[in-house]
Structure 1
Amino acid sequence: MSKVAILLSGCGVYDGAEIHESVLTMLALSQRGVAYQCFAPDLLQLHVINHRTGEVAEGEQRNVLVEAARIARGDILPISELDPAEYSALFVPGGFGAAKNLCDFAVNGKNCEIQPQVMEVCQAFANSGKPAGYMCIAPALAARVYGQQVKLTIGNDPATADALVAMDATHVSCQVQDIVVDESRKLVTTPAYMLAQNIAEAAVGINKLVDKVLSLV
């Protein structure tokens, strides 16, 4: 197996990639002897959130790629350098960055658009039949990428599920420790911190997701 790609959306649950989900994905891959390369778009975040107070840090700007480099310990490339032909699978952790920086689902819901470079890369994996794992809120991206009644989950939040259904996805209610698989699309999703109460709960579903994605390569 060649390397797999991990697409990050910054650093921090409220305005970037969910750190636990990202690290759990890296850990699971490393424990299974699978090499990975992290990527992120080189653009400004929608906004910056003070993670201690939950409030917007007015006047502050941060770059998605630069922030995501914190999680990747500096070993990260801009998404413009991601050639799907060189990678066996794609993993997309959640966190609000997936819904704020990779697309605008957090702002526009069912009418969201995906950042063009992100859309190009994600569709390339989808169109080439390569497996992908999307976690937490990241399946909002998958709904737009795959369309056509693609089967996925964000857990069981009714409003979010309804938005995905309005985007032509088929939402399947799912518990935190489980995964939903669209076998024909080779797409695997898990609720992670949409439902997880702690890192141990998130780990169960993410480990299942990683194993299933790798089995589809």
Structure 2
Amino acid sequence: MAAVRALVGSRFAAASAFASLSPGGRTPSQRAAIHLSAPQPAAKVALVLSGCGVYDGTEIHEASAILVHLSRGGAEVQIFAPDVPQMHVIDHTKGQPSESESRNVLTESARIARGTITDLAKLNAANHDAAIFPGGFGAAKNLLCCIAPVLAAKVLRGVEVTVGHEQEEGGKWPYAGTAEAIKALGAKHFVKEVAEAHVDQKNKVVTTPAFMCHTALHHIHDGIGAMEEREIAAPQPPRLTSGE
């Protein structure tokens, strides 16, 4: 599941409503409107990864979907990961630990970042408008204590988040028990569908279920898009969190 948290103020630029008009066909009022709607500075977003692979690092599809939506929105993205050993390495063909292997979270995250990545210790909140945490078990194993929205529940008392539904419903929501863990931490859980997002206006946090739901990949992509759209539209731009 994914989560976003706004750190300062969102600066996503809006497209001009007059972009398709030819220069000769604009009236003075239209030209004035174009001038007033000049592009604003792009949002500066920190993307925090926790390795590479759903069972021991970042969920790669979630990270990719987030990067696509941020690119489409014109954001300036800087990618971070902690320079620490992974809790363990999982053989993803078997779903079991590979006892003889050890890997570094920063080095593994660099695979997703295409090599352009910074040590998480150097992240300065004042330099970014929002921080995004994709899901994956690495968020639990390598960053803090649980999946991305639970990070918010752990550090923000009473925060509102969603991990989707609260019942497994025949395997559609295999990690539904996470909702109870969120409540046990004193946070509030809101039931949402996979393509929806929840906004906590007070704490500036936006969450979406993502791979907490067993569904088609494009539904996960839509939910992450909804999360980022809600982040942009919120009166006080929120912080984002993502995924399982």
Normalized against structure 1, the TM-score is what?
A: 0.82
Opposite residue 163 of structure 2, the aligned amino acid is I
Kept in 1, the 8 Å contact 2:81–2:118? The answer is: yes
In structure 1, runs of 5+ residues without a counterpart are 106-136
Aligned counterpart, 2:23: none
Q: Which residue, out of 138, 147, 154, partners 1:144?
A: 154
Q: What value does the CA root-mean-square deviation take over the aligned residues?
A: 1.2
Q: Which has the higher strand share?
A: 2
Aligned counterpart, 1:190: 208
Q: Runs of 4+ in structure 1 displaced over 3 angstroms?
A: none
Please state whether the residue corresponding to 2:225 is helix, strand or coil: helix
Larger C-alpha radius of gyration, 1 or 2?
2
Aligned counterpart, 1:154: 163
Aligned-pair distance for 1:145? 1.7
Aligned counterpart, 2:65: 24
Aligned counterpart, 1:76: 117
Alignment of 1:60-71 (within 5 A): 60-71=101-112
In structure 2, runs of 5+ residues without a counterpart are 1-10, 12-42, 167-175, 238-244
Normalized against structure 2, the TM-score is what?
A: 0.73
Please state whether the residue corresponding to 2:91 is helix, strand or coil: coil
Kept in 2, the 8 Å contact 1:89–1:213? The answer is: no
Residue 37, structure 1, aligned to residue 112, structure 2: no
Kept in 1, the 8 Å contact 2:50–2:105? The answer is: yes
Q: Provide, for residues 133-186 of structure 1, a one-character-per-residue CA deviation record: whole Å limited to 9, x for no partner.
A: xxxx31010101211x21101112442111110101001111101111111111
Q: Which has the higher helix share?
A: 1
Aligned-pair distance for 1:215? 2.9
Relative contact order, higher structure (CA 8 A, sep 6+): 2
The percentage of counterpart residues that share the same residue type is: 46
